[in-house]
């Protein structure tokens, strides 16, 4: 109910309500952006651009309870646009990597291997993994978010995990 009221207030022009909504989502947004671009400054730029886009189009949120999903979709589209525009690959630095929160307790080399493997994946697989395991969305929520059938989401998650296993196994062998 609290979020519903904040979204409604933000839609009426209450800047503090909008800031409160963003405050709740900012860390998740940053982690997702960083997963796409592997650079702290670029991730911050993407988050900033996302917040701006959300601010100017807050009235487009039809269901206030979907605000987190709505702003995440803006972020992913902004990150993909940024990648296409920049068309660059940035190596991950160890000190930047340590700032990323992981849902599992992994040592630094495991984090590096996992992020490197995710970075190599096709965008559709990367996106479903991020939504499923970083945002903890259900298959149904991902399906609605990406506007595709649940079966497609399940298939993409399964293929992404299998591709991740192969990539991680190759990295372990190459060490």
pLDDT value of residue 146: 82
Residue 116: Cβ-neighbour burial (10 angstroms; 0-12, 13-18, 19+): middle
The rounded distance, in Å, linking the Cα atoms of 88 and 98 is 22
Same domain, 139 and 167: yes
Residue with tokens 């933000």: 10
Is residue 110 assigned to a domain?
A: yes
**By residue range, what is the domain housing residue 34?**
1-90
Number of structural domains found in the chain:
2
Is residue 97 assigned to a domain?
A: no
pLDDT value of residue 172: 55
The CATH number of whichever domain residue 162 belongs to comes to 1.10.10.10
Is residue 53 assigned to a domain?
A: yes
Is residue 141 assigned to a domain?
A: yes
Is residue 23 assigned to a domain?
A: yes
Same domain, 86 and 2: yes
List pLDDT tens digits, range 106-130.
555 666 677 777 777 888 888 888 8
The rounded distance, in Å, linking the Cα atoms of 61 and 91 is 36
pLDDT value of residue 43: 92
The per-residue pLDDT string of the chain (175 residues; one tens digit each, 9 = 90 and over) reads 557 788 889 889 889 999 999 999 999 999 999 988 888 999 999 999 999 999 999 998 888 888 998 999 999 999 988 887 775 444 444 444 444 444 344 555 666 677 777 777 888 888 888 888 777 788 888 888 888 888 888 998 888 888 888 877 765 554 4
pLDDT value of residue 94: 47
pTM: predicted TM-score of the whole model, two decimal places:
0.57
Same domain, 81 and 127: no
Same domain, 74 and 118: no
């Amino acid at each position: 109910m609290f979020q519903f009221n904040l979204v409604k207030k933000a839609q009426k022009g209450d800047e503090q309500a909008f800031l409160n909504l963003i405050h709740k989502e900012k860390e998740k947004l940053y982690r997702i952006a960083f997963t796409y671009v592997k650079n702290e400054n670029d991730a911050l730029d993407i988050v900033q651009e996302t917040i701006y886009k959300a601010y100017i189009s807050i009235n487009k949120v039809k269901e206030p309870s979907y605000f987190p999903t709505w702003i995440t979709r803006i972020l992913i589209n902004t990150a993909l646009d940024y990648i296409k525009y920049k068309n660059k690959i940035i190596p991950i630095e160890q000190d930047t990597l340590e700032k990323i929160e992981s849902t599992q307790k992994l040592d630094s080399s495991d984090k590096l291997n996992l992020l490197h493997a995710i970075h190599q994946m096709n965008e559709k697989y990367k996106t479903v993994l991020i939504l499923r395991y970083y945002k903890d969305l259900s298959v149904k929520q991902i399906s609605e978010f990406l506007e595709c059938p649940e079966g497609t989401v399940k298939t993409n998650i399964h293929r992404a995990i299998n591709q991740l296993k192969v990539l991680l196994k190759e990295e372990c062998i190459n060490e």
